[in-house]
Structure formats: structure tokens, C-alpha cells
Amino acid sequence: MEFINSLLAFIVSIGILITFHEYGHFCVAKFFDVKILRFSIGFGKSIFIKHFGKDETEFSIAALPLGGYVKMLDSREGNVAKNEMNREFNGKPLWQRFCIVLAGPVFNFILAVILYTVIYTVGVQGLKPIIGEVESSSMGAKSGFVAKQEIVSVNGIITPTWSNVVDSLVSQTVSGDTAKITVKDIDGIQKSVYLDLSRISIDEIADGKLLKKIGIVIEKLEIAPIIGDIVKNSPGEASGLQKNDKIIAVNDEIIESWDEWVEIIRRSPNQQLNIDILRNETIKNIALVPENILENGKNIGRIGVRPEITDDLYESYFALEQYSLHLAILKAFDKTWEMSVLTLKVLGKIIIGDASVKNLSGPISIAKYAGQSASIGFTALLTFLAIVSISLGVLNLLPIPLLDGGHLVYYIIEFITGRPVSDSMQIIGQQIGIVLLLSLMSIALYNDFIRLLG
């Protein structure tokens, strides 16, 4: 089921991103009255074809959903009737051709802005950035972090959740800058600490070691082992567990937190557990057998119960980042710009060797992340789509032949020299582009398989 969910999420996600990208080319081409012959989502054999519009444009969904294209009337690809010469792509002014090619990546950025606007209007919930522990002699300890401090801002940017903190620190780390971090202690007193992030590499960030390298630990949500909701027809319901039951012990092992309870359940699939519970001031004993499920290739136990979380507990640990529509739009533009610059910086560091090529991801990793995002919830999926849309926009603007950026380079040369790049030079460029793209795809797929096997 995990594989199927990932595959479906990948197909839907990539379908949306490709369609929006190609729709950018389509819209601007139609605006400049270029005749569109085919709008294809995917490559290879068509599995769905429909014709629409006065030009009978062919809309096609192909078998390989790893790209798409808009085929326009073009004299370089065949004879064009005299009455349609004014509608062929290559006959349009240079600036119009430039706009048509540029529109695809631009629409990727527009999609990201739309998605982030929805995300920030709906609101993003996350853990408050409260420091649980600070490792002695660590970078964080030397900078002045102490336990129970709450991070208020990074370089003046308000950080209501840990996600905001990490995003800001990643951006500063990639730039190799020193971050000014405002923290607040339990008495509400604020002060600034300075953190030199130049010693942290991009590879360590990619491995999820940013906070570990700094030496700070997120404060854990301390949830009491009290039963909240119980899933119908679950092992928990079958055992006789009820709402508000407090777990006292499992197999005579004292339970003090919900995390301890969950850990025992997860490592005990198909094993009978003797549970001591407190119910209405009376201690009872029940037998419970967690069901066996497969998660990330491992067998774990599950019983289908959720904890009781009071409003006060929730508000003390979680924050909601939410804005009115106009502020959400401004925040979306800022976030899209920030992520675009970050993507370019990371790519630049990979090219010059300051970051490993293991940071490149292929379709397998993207499918996995798509499935995980979809399983987490609506906001997580939209965030995933926005990030990938930005990545597609940036990658397509790279000056590599076959990509939109390569065509834009040709047009810039044509503008400077006053004549188009010769066919022979374009053929050489295409050959170079094929080699580069195949190399990148090979590295990305290799990374995917290493992650899958690792």
C-alpha cells in the first residue's frame, strides 16, 4: 500500500506540475497567435487523445509521465501553408519567442506562489521552537543557547515554529553567514545570540544533522499515557481499552509517558501484552495483542488508539502560522523567492564541489516524498508541490541545451549578434545537452537506489 500510495501521489503531483509548466508555454503562444498542434503530458505512446479548439489541437496523455511538451507550428519541422505562415513559431519576433519559452518556468513560480498563498491562508501548525537541551561544549552552548529558551526570530525574521527556524538557518548555512538569533527565556526576557554557520556543510544539512551540529535538541512534547480516541474494530477496542484510561504498566514495566507506551507497542507486533490501567480510580488488567503492519520495510505493532491532548497542552507546544489573504500573498512571494535563491545556491555549490552530488534526487525519491507528504496531510502535500515546482522552474532556466534556459541563451545570442544561432551549432548544443541531462539523471537515479537500499 505504501508503494501504491507513493506511485499515485507521484503521478498526480508530477501531472499537476508538468501541466502547469506546459500550460505556461501554451497560454503565451496562444496570446501571440501561434498555432498549437499538440499539448502532451508525458512522453512515449499516447494512452489518451482528445482534440479541442478551432485549430483541433491534440491533447495527449502519454505513458511516461516524466515531462511534457507543447508542439507548435514551425517551419523548421515541416512545410507550412502560406495562409498560416503568420502563425508559425519561428516566424514570430524574437521577443515573442523569448516570452513563450520563458513562460513555462515562470508558471512554475506562479504555481508555487499560489500554493504558498493557500498554505499561509489556511495556516501551518507546528511545534513552537523551544529548546529542550543544549549539548555542553557544542556550537550552540558557546553561542549562548540554554535549555527552555524559545527562538523568537532569525536575522529579524519571526519564527513561530521549528520549521521556520530550520528554514532560516538552512538559508544562512548555505550562504555561510553568521545568524543573529533572538531568544526568549521562561521569564520572557529576550536577548540575541550569534551563531557562525560556516562550519556546517550542505551535506550535513541534507542528512538532517543541522540541529545536531549546532548542539540543540527540540523540546519533546510530554504527553501523559492517557487514551483519547479509539479506532473502530482495532486491537485497542477489542482489548477493552476505553477513553480516559491511563496506562500504568505493560508487562510490569512502569509507563510514564505516551512515547514509552508507543515504543513498546511498535516493537511488539502479534505479541500478547499485559496492561495495567487506571480507570475510574480502579486499577484493572487487560490483555492486548498489537496487530502487525509493514512500515518502511519493517514489521511494527499498532493498536489504533490516540492520546488525550488537552487544549492547554496543545497551545503550550504548538503554534499556528496564519495570515490574512493579502499578507499570505506577500509571504508566498517571499517564500518562493527564498526557495528559488536557495536552490540556485545549492546547485552552484554542487557544481564547484562544495556540496556532494548525493543531494540530487530522482523520480524514486520524489515519489517517496510525494507519498509521505500526502499521508501527512493537505498542507504537507501543497508544501511538497510548491518546493518541487520551484525546483522545476529553476532547473528549466539553467543554460543547458534542450531545456528552456538553453533556448533562452540562443535567443540572447541572436539578440546580440542580430542573427539566429546556426543549425549546426544548435545540433552540437543538443548533443551536449543530452549528455549533461543523461548524466544528471543517472546520478539522481543512482542516489535514489542508494537511499532505497540504505
- Active site residues per annotation: 22
Identify the residue whose cell numbers are 500504568: 248
| Measured distance CA(361)–CA(351) in Å, rounded | 15
Query: Which H, E and C letters describe 207-258, residue by residue?
Result: CCCHHHHHCEEECCCCCCCEEEEECCCCHHHHHCCCCCCEEEEECCEECCCH
Q: Give Cα 228 to chain centroid, integer Å.
A: 31
- 3-state class percentages of the chain: helix first, strand second, coil last, to nearest 5: 50, 25, 25
Nearest residue to 263 via CA among 311, 217, 223, 232:
223
What nine digits make up the cell of 345? 545556491
Largest CA distance in the chain: 92
Residues 6+ apart with CB under 8 A from 435: none
Among residues 13, 101, 19, 23, which one has the least CA distance to residue 407? 101
User: Cα 150 from chain centroid?
Assistant: 26
